[in-house]
Amino acid sequence: MSNDEVEYRQRPFQAPPGSTEVFLVRHGQSAAYRDGQPFPLVDGQGDPSLTEHGRWQAVQVGERLRHVALAAVYVTTLQRTVQTAAPLLDYIGQTAVVEPDLREIHLGEWEGGIFRKKVAERDPVFLEVERTQDWSAIPGAESFSQLQNRVVAAITRIHDAHPGERVVAVSHGGAIGAALSHATGAKPLAFGATDNASIAHLIVLGDRWILRRYNDTGHLGGELSAVAEGLT
């Protein structure tokens, strides 16, 4: 074949050899906070369980990922991630691996569900968090850099343990946002609107992080249809 007959076609993305594909799943919907009824704490952090709807979302996550060849499924120390991972683990016959450093941002005096109330009220301290892009405006909370450092360290350990493999890590909105900010160089809270039971897809190879997919909720089609019809 002569040079002018050689074809250079567009091809689908392929992960670089030795990289780890990390499917970051945010936990399903968790229980509502009621004023004066804080969530139980685990290591100082609120630990609500999933709602019935959250459990349905977890099943959809399991259905979506059950046919992916997965080397491991990671969860945090908080029960909402364990409950979200459970249907997938049942499907693939694996046991979860606990990675504590993928847990949610520690919110200091706003732990136990109080944060949700403060956000809904547009508390001035929360507005300061938005302005500074730093959680440390909340009394006693972790800073964004503290959160990001431990989350990046956790994903780096996962990569080191699974070169050339695919894994799922069920985590939390703030933690996932910190990871994706690191991957993209975006502002600290740029990925703060991650939906429950959504999937983000990271490719990790050493210091090279590639974001392939964000807030994928294709497996939650009923919810998306309701939004499109103006029902939610």
pLDDT > 60? residue 52: yes
Whether residue 228 is predicted with pLDDT greater than 60 in this model: the reply is no
- Contact in structure between 156 and 204 (CB atoms under 8 Å): yes
Residue-wise pLDDT for 127-167, tens only, equals 999 999 999 999 999 999 999 999 999 999 999 999 999 99
Q: Cα–Cα distances in Å, from 48 out to 27, 33, 42, 63, 220?
A: 11, 9, 10, 24, 22
The larger pLDDT score, comparing residue 1 to residue 37, is at 37
The pLDDT, as a whole number, for residue 136 is: 97
pLDDT more than 70, % of the chain: 94
- Taking every pair of Cα atoms in the chain, the longest distance, rounded to a whole number of angstroms, is 77
Report the pLDDT value the prediction gives residue 5, as an integer from 0 to 100: 84
pLDDT-derived band at 222, boundaries 50, 70, 90: low
For residue 227, CA distances in Å to 58, 191, 196 come to 19, 20, 15
| pLDDT for residue 221 | 86
CA 172/CA 76 separation, integer angstroms:
9
Q: Given this model, what pLDDT does residue 87 score?
A: 98
> CA 23 from chain center: how many Å?
8
What domains, with CATH codes, occur in the chain? 29-228 (3.40.50.1240)
pLDDT value at residue 12: 92
Q: What is the mean pLDDT of the chain?
A: 94
Q: Give the whole-angstrom CA distance, residue 112 versus residue 116.
A: 9
Active-site annotation, residues:
27, 104
Q: How far apart are CA 151 and CA 209, in angstroms?
A: 13
- pTM (two decimals): 0.92
Give the pLDDT band (50/70/90) at residue 232.
very low
69-87 residue pLDDT tens? 999 999 999 999 999 999 9
Tokens at residue 33, please?
């906070």
